[in-house]
Amino acid sequence: MEPITIRDILTAVKGRILGDFDNLDLEISRVETDSRTIHEGSLFVPLIGEQFDGHAYITSALEGGAAACFTQRDRESYLPGKCYIRVDHTQRALRDLAVWYKKKFDIPVVAVTGSVGKTTTKDMVAAVLGEHYKVLKTEGNLNTDIGTCRTLFRLDKSYQIAVLEMGMNHPGEIEVMSAIAQPDVCLITNIGDSHIEHLGSRENILKAKCEIFSHAKPGCLAVLNGDDPLLRTLEGKLPEPILWCGGAPGLDYTADHLVSDGTSNVCCEVKTPHTSCQVEIPALGSHMIYPTLMAAAVAEHFGVTAEEFRRGVLHFAPTKMRMNIIQRGEDITILNDTYNANPQSMRAAVEVLSKTHSGRKIAVLGDMFELGTLAPALHAGIGTYLGKAGIDCLVAVGELAKNIYDAAREAMVPEVHYCATKEEALPVLAQVVKPHATILVKASRGMAFEDLTEYLKSITQEP
């Protein structure tokens, strides 16, 4: 972050100073929301949630080195030399400050949303653009309005373009992020069942995802998945020009001659309106054509050459716990896809497992959350698919995963195990893991299945 003054902050958030602090030229070097990791000279923003109120930590943040803070209420006393800025709403003030700060930098913004593959697409787009530009991107999964602000506060004059991921659980959340980012290019990866418990239908999910366009800049470009039937309904309805990506014939960006080594990569020919080139994608699964093609569309829009695009794809590295390939001794491979799960991503992960060149294919699958009344049927659908995909062994963990187990038994998966908890699964995993196995580990974030990945690493040898 480039330094800003107290005077700048007051202007950006329309705040007023409490107490007798009067050094409006004091410079602030960071904006932080966690009092436990405060840095010297920072602005502390006390957020308020259902279970916490950051105002309780204002004094400790200031004593820990913060130079200033926001507050929604007057204080009984004020630490000398510290700046207290009164605002109506601290989270809204954080957003206002991020919008003001972003305006200091005249760089384009690429915004990415969708039900599945947001983070992978963000990482792929950033990797490709990174061959030509210095790219600021959302780190990890900071895809909320607060995360968007935190990302933008990392801007400095060296960055040339930003790639921001936008997630949501409820309607209106992406609209807020669109207002903060004001994107120049908007990507929607697909429309699936994630958060259908809160939104009621895929049509409502589509509507929520389309909030990404609500504050897009004039002339914004839309890059959409042309194989998604709900996204196809947007044709002719958006004011923005659309580039369509996917496997169907006639789309703007397509992939052909898809070949996988079953171990670490997928190769294909990417065809664009301007050229075609062979690329090696260092990840598994035919679904990887979608982030690659969307990256191709963004790359050409911003003048990235075909050779830079090819190199960028080759340099792609997935975010932690998103189909990370972990090689172990005795020809054992762990597919660590534990960050999150929904029916579409679960099916795609099982497809990856099914196409590996492995002597024993094991799926360790857990609950998928926020599916509402559809949860039993959607879990059962995964169990049925395991049978069709030729998976050798299932270890289902969690209350909802019992539906995967029951359906997998009916689908004649050769070996099936059900465990109510992760603790119950440990001895089962020790029993089923054998040399030459590939093990997929996947569940929703709340299941914290990375614990099982670590256990699998502990019971297998180093390569």
Q: Is 254 annotated as a binding residue?
A: no
**How many Cα neighbours within 13 Å face the side chain of 406?**
12
SS3 418: strand
Sheet of 135-137, strands arranged across: 135-137, 161-165, 109-113, 185-188, 221-225, 242-246, 253-260, 266-271, 276-281
Element (H, E) at 186: strand 185-188
Which of 68, 98, 102 has its CA nearest to residue 86? Answer: 68
Q: Is 116 annotated as a binding residue?
A: yes
* 48 secondary structure, DSSP code: B
In sequence order, the 6+-apart residues with CB closer than 8 A to the CB of 156 are 1, 2, 105
Neighbours of 315 (CB within 10 A): 13
Beta partners for residue 165, in sequence order:
112
Q: Is 5 annotated as a binding residue?
A: no
Rounded CA gap, 463 and 453, in Å? 16
Rounded CA gap, 413 and 392, in Å? 6
Q: Is 120 annotated as a binding residue?
A: yes
Would you say 352 and 324 are in contact if contact means Cβ atoms under 8 Å apart? Answer: no
In sequence order, the 6+-apart residues with CB closer than 8 A to the CB of 373 are none
Give burial (CB, 10 Å; 0-12/13-18/19+) of 158.
exposed
Would you say 380 and 406 are in contact if contact means Cβ atoms under 8 Å apart? Answer: yes
Rounded CA gap, 66 and 62, in Å? 4
Which residues are annotated binding-site positions?
Answer: 114-120
> Which residues are known binding-site members for ATP?
114-120
